[in-house]
Amino acid sequence: MVLTAGPLLVRDFEDTMSTTTIIRKPDAAKSESAVGFQLPFDLVLVLATAGLAICSVLTIAAATATDVPGSPDYFVVRQLVYFGVGGLLAVALWRTDYSRLRELKYFFYGALILSILTVIAFGSVARGSRRAIDLPLFSFQASELGKVLLVVSLSAFTIDMTRRAADSRTTARLVAIGLAPAALVMLQPDLGSALVFVAITATILFIAGVPWQHFAAAGAVAVAAVVLALAVLPSAGINVLHSYQKDRLTAFLHPSETSGREGYQQNQSRIAIGSGEKTGRGASATQTKYNFLPEHHTDFIFAVVGERWGFAGAALVLSLYALMIWRALRILTMAKNLYGALLAGGIVAMLMFQVFVNVGMTVGIMPITGIPLPLMSYGGSSLIATMLAVGLLQSIYAQGRNAAMSQGRVLTFQ
């Protein structure tokens, strides 16, 4: 049986349990040259990740030099430690056959749900939300690690149900599996992470080949839910969202009217980016230097890049993200089986959605949702989770390359 994945896949998979992919067999000369020396990992992905890590450390060093009196390197040292731990975990995943993770889907999904419930029960409250548990070295934010756990577990559940993908009940079960943790995260409340979970779920189902009619039905239900939560229930005295959440979500629509309240950070972010012009203000970056931008090392770190290094620095960071996402899409096409393709697709959705929303938030075209910028924002949970995702991509690359070479075939990108 041949399973055809969604439009993002350009190749077919022999079977959901298969470890090989249908790949065009070249002539002998090309095959012989393909067996030559090749790195056991995707070098471009490594360089893009390392480039973002360097940009992160340099930006945090510039933004937080005066934040902790007497300790100008306080945040930099911790960010370097997070990168070190994340790098070791990424290498461990790269050296592991990702297909084995499929057998642990119930464990990963259970850990996802349990960790979110633990944060809801015992997490510390910050700015009206209970999103993390304070540990000695860092604050553990379950929703960040949960993004990777959802990709791993939902991809496995999808594989088990692929033969019944055309059944609406199958789609409903998979949607429920993906949106259950999103609903729990909303209770914290953490709208940004919940939206990332939704994006991951939709992308995995799309790559698995779920019929478009099911997406249309799900979209209609989503629109109805939004209308119910924002209009119908509030008129009946039931508030799904807190008033401050509504104000934050709508402040970007009229920034001048809320510049001193909910839209303060976004307004200061736009000023910082605009003042950077072509090459930035360097050490004269006043928005960061005098703390006009409160979250300058976390959610609004891209504004620091824009002010300090201008359009050139912002373009470099965005180019590194584009390079990373491009390589992730290439790795998706190299996957030795459908499970690997779903994993890569879920990671692409996680990265793309977070980058788009975070950058859009800093320039004033998206609402403030508290989504960090992957590999750039300060924070152990987000950084380590993203490094785990990079390790998974490297494992998919290595396994796909080895599977092709063991059969005397060459991988061609389309």
> Starting from the edge strand earliest in sequence, which strands make up the sheet with 139-140, in order?
124-126, 129-134, 139-140
Tokens of 34: 């393909």
**Cα separation, 347 vs 355, whole angstroms:** 12
Give residue 38's identity as a one-letter amino acid code. Answer: Q
Measured between its terminal Cα atoms, the distance across the chain in Å is 23
Tokens of 322: 């584009």
**Cα separation, 201 vs 203, whole angstroms:** 6
Mean pLDDT, all residues of the chain? 82
Q: Residue 330: which residues within 8 A CB-CB, separation 6 or more?
A: 42, 413
How high is the pLDDT of residue 305?
Answer: 93
Q: What is the dihedral of CA 102, 106, 107, 108, to 10 degrees?
A: 70
How high is the pLDDT of residue 103?
Answer: 92
The answer to whether 310 and 393 have CB atoms below 8 angstroms apart is no
Q: What is the pLDDT of residues 213-227, one digit of tens each?
A: 888 888 888 888 777
211 or 163, which is more confident?
A: 211
What pTM does this model have?
Answer: 0.85
User: Per-residue pLDDT averaged across 112-135, rounded?
Assistant: 82
Least confident of 24-28, 88-92, 200-204, 228-232: 24-28
How high is the pLDDT of residue 280?
Answer: 83
pLDDT at 2 over 70: no
Q: How remote is the C-alpha of 381 from its chain's centroid?
A: 12
How high is the pLDDT of residue 26?
Answer: 43
How high is the pLDDT of residue 245?
Answer: 65
How high is the pLDDT of residue 86?
Answer: 95
Instruction: Grade residue 9 by pLDDT with cuts at 50, 70 and 90.
Output: very low
The answer to whether 355 and 57 have CB atoms below 8 angstroms apart is no
The answer to whether 309 and 279 have CB atoms below 8 angstroms apart is yes
Q: SS3 string of the chain?
A: CCECCCCCCCCCECCCCCCCECCCCCCHHHHHHHCCCCCCCCHHHHHHHHHHHHHHHHHHHHHCCCCCCCCCCHHHHHHHHHHHHHHHHHHHHHCCCHHHHHHHHHHHHHHHHHHHHHHHHHCEEECCEEEEEECCCCEECHHHHHHHHHHHHHHHHHHHCHHHCCCHHHHHHHHHHHHHHHHHHHCCCCHHHHHHHHHHHHHHHHHHCCCHHHHHHHHHHHHHHHHHHHHHHHHCCCCCCCHHHHHHHHHHHCHHHCCCCCCHHHHHHHHHHHHHCCCCCHHHCHHHHCCCCCCCCCCCHHHHHHHHHHHHHHHHHHHHHHHHHHHHHHHHHHCCCHHHHHHHHHHHHHHHHHHHHHHHHHHCCCCCCCCCCCCCCCCHHHHHHHHHHHHHHHHHHHHHHHHHHHCCCCCCCC
The answer to whether 386 and 320 have CB atoms below 8 angstroms apart is no
pLDDT at 38 over 60: yes
**Cα separation, 226 vs 134, whole angstroms:** 33
User: Per-residue pLDDT averaged across 170-186, rounded?
Assistant: 90
- CB 260: neighbour CB atoms within 10 A? 8
How high is the pLDDT of residue 259?
Answer: 57
**Cα separation, 299 vs 297, whole angstroms:** 7
pLDDT at 353 over 90: yes
Q: Which phi and psi angles does 72 have, rounded to 5°?
A: -65, -20
Instruction: Grade residue 211 by pLDDT with cuts at 50, 70 and 90.
Output: confident
pLDDT at 156 over 60: yes
pLDDT at 313 over 90: yes
Task: Report the share of the chain in percent with pLDDT over 70.
Answer: 81
Q: Residue 6: which residues within 8 A CB-CB, separation 6 or more?
A: 206, 207, 208, 209, 210
Q: What is the pLDDT of residues 320-350, one digit of tens each?
A: 999 999 999 999 999 999 999 999 999 999 9
How high is the pLDDT of residue 6?
Answer: 43
Instruction: Grade residue 44 by pLDDT with cuts at 50, 70 and 90.
Output: very high
How high is the pLDDT of residue 240?
Answer: 65
pLDDT at 273 over 70: yes
